[in-house]
Amino acid sequence: MNRVKNDIFAGITAAVVALPLALAFGVASGAGAIAGLYGAIILGFFAALFGGTPTQISGPTGPMTVIVATAIATFPNDFQTVMTIVFLAGLMQISFGIVGIGKWIKYIPYPVISGFMCGIGVIIIILQINPFLGVEGYSSIVYTLTHLTDTLTKVNYEAILIATITLAIMFLTPKKISKIIPPALIALVLVTLFSIFFHFKVMIIGEIPMGLPQFVLPISFDILKLSTILTLAITLALLGSIDSLLTSIVADSKTKTKHDSKKELIGQGIGNTICSFFGAIPGAGATMRTVININSGATSKLSGMVHSVTLLLIVLFLAPLASQIPLAVLSGILIKVGFDILDYKFLKVINKVSKQDLIIMITVFLLTVFVDLIMAVGVGITISSIIAVYQISKNTQMKTAHSKVSFDIDIENHDIEIIKVNGSLFFGTASALDTRLEKIKNSKKIIIDCRNVSFLDISAIFTLEDIIEKFKSKDLEIILVLKYRHKKKVLAVDSLNVFKKIRIYHNLDDAINYTQKYELIYG
C-alpha cells in the first residue's frame, strides 16, 4: 500500500514539473501550448503503460521539439502532414522495438552524443532570443541570427524584464527550495502574476481550449513530398529512441534495475502514434522529470500514468489561467533547459581530449546547429568508425595486437575476479566490457587488466567511469591495470575524480598483491 501511495505522490510531483515544460515546448514547436500539454498527457500515459522502464516519465523534450518545429516550418499551414510525420515516426519506433534495434544505441561514440546534445542545447537557446526580447520568433537558426540587428530595433523592454526575472529564478533558486518546488513552476506562477498585476503589454500564450482534444486523421500528404516526410519521420524516430534509451539508462543507475529496451521503444512508439491522432507533439523519455519521479519515491508504471492524469485534470479545469502566461516567461524557462542539455561532462575536459574526439564533437555540433540532425549523427559515426579502424590497423601492424577486443576471465572465486582486455577499447567495444561485468556475481573485487589494450578512446574512458560508479554502488571495488600512457590519458579527463579515487597499477602483480589479504590463490 505504501508503494502505491509513493507512486501517486511521485506522479503528481512529476506532473507539476512537467506542466511548465510542456507549455513551453508546445509554444516553441509552433503547434501551440495545448499540443505540448496533450503530448505530455498522451505519451506520458501510454509510454508508462506499455514501456520497459517502470519509473520513466515521458513527454515533449528539447530535441524532439526542435524537429517538430522544423516540420511545421517545412509544411506551413499543413498541420495534417506534420501529424503524418509524427504517426510514421511512432510506427518506426514500434518496429525498432520489435527488431531489437535498441541494443545498437550503445555503440554510438560519446563525442557524437556530446556534439549532438550541445547542438540541440544551442538551437533551443538561439530560437528563444526573439521571445526573450519580446519579438515574434523564427523557426530557423540562420534566419534568427542574420536578422538579429533588425530584431534589436523592435525589442519590448517589459518582455525583457519578465524573461530576465524568469531566468534569474531558474538559475538562482536555492536547492533547498528547488527540491520542494521546481524553479520552472515558481517562475511560471510568480512572474505571470507579476506581469498581470502591472498590466505589462507583452505577448501571451492566448486561449487554450478546454476539454478533450479533437481527433485528427494524420494519414494525408502530397506524394511528391514523401521523401521529406520520411526524412523527418526517421529523424524523429531515431532521436526519440536515443533520447528515451539514454534516459532509461539513467533510471537504471538510480533504481539499480535493468530496463527492457524492446518494450521501451514499443511503448514510446505507441504513445507517439496516438499523439498524432490528437494534434499533440511527440516526445521521449525525459531525464529530469524521470529523476524527480524516482527521487519522489516512484517504483512502478503507476507513477507515469498518475503524472498524465494529473496533467489532464489541469487542462480540463485550469486552462483559462494558463492562457495568460507571457511567452517571455516560457523563453526564460526554455533557455535554462537549453543550458541544461549542454554536455558539461565533455566540455569540462574538452582541452584534454584527443584531437580526433574533438574534431568529431565539433563537426557533429556544427552540423546539428546549422545543417541537419540526422546528417550530423551519420557523419559523426562515419568519422569515428574510420578513425577507429585506422587506429586498430596501425596498432596491429606495429604490435600485432588483436584487431578486435576480447575479454578473458583468469581468476574466478567468491572474492576476486580478473578480466584481461586484449585489443582496442573504443566506442565499438567498450559496451561489451560493461556487458561482461554485469554477469559477475558474488565478487568483492574486480581487476580489469588493460595492459594489452592498444587503443583507448574517450567513449571507453567514460564507459569505465560509469562502470566504476555503478559497481561502487553495489559495494564492489574496481581495480585497473593500465599502461603509463593510458593512465595519463584517463587522469587527464577525470573531471569528477572517479579514477583518482580507485587503485590503478601498471602491472598485474601489484594489483594481485593488493588483494593478498583476501587470501587469493592465483595461478
Q: What is the DSSP string of 80-129?
A: HHHHHHHHHHHHHHHHHHHHTGGGGGGGS-HHHHHHHHHHHHHHHHHHTH
- Residue 297's pLDDT is what? 80
**pTM reported for the whole predicted model:** 0.74
Mean pLDDT by 10 residues, the chain (523 residues): 82 84 85 90 95 92 87 87 93 92 75 86 88 84 87 91 93 85 84 90 78 73 81 90 83 79 94 94 88 83 93 84 84 86 86 88 91 80 80 49 46 67 74 74 79 82 84 82 88 86 86 65 40
Q: At which residue does the C-alpha cell 524532439 appear?
A: 64
Please give the grid coordinates belonging to residue 117. Answer: 546534445
- Residue 400's pLDDT is what? 31
Other CB atoms within a 10 A radius of the CB of residue 255 amount to 16
Query: What burial class does residue 366 get, using C-beta atoms within 10 Å of its C-beta: 0-12 exposed, 13-18 middle, 19+ buried?
Result: middle
Cα 435 → chain centroid: 22
> Which H helix or E strand runs over 233?
helix 226-255
Which residues face 481 on adjacent strands? 449, 505
Phi, psi (5° rounding) for residue 59? Answer: 170, -175
DSSP reduced 3-state for 447: strand
- Residue 295's pLDDT is what? 78
By residue count, the chain amounts to 523
Domain residue extents for the chain = 2-125+208-326, 350-399, 406-518
Closest CA to 66 of 131, 6, 14, 141: 141
Fold of 406-518: Transcription Regulator spoIIAA (3.30.750)
Please give the grid coordinates belonging to residue 202. Answer: 507583452
Closest CA to 325 of 153, 519, 194, 178: 194
Distance of alpha carbon 163 from alpha carbon 475, whole angstroms: 46
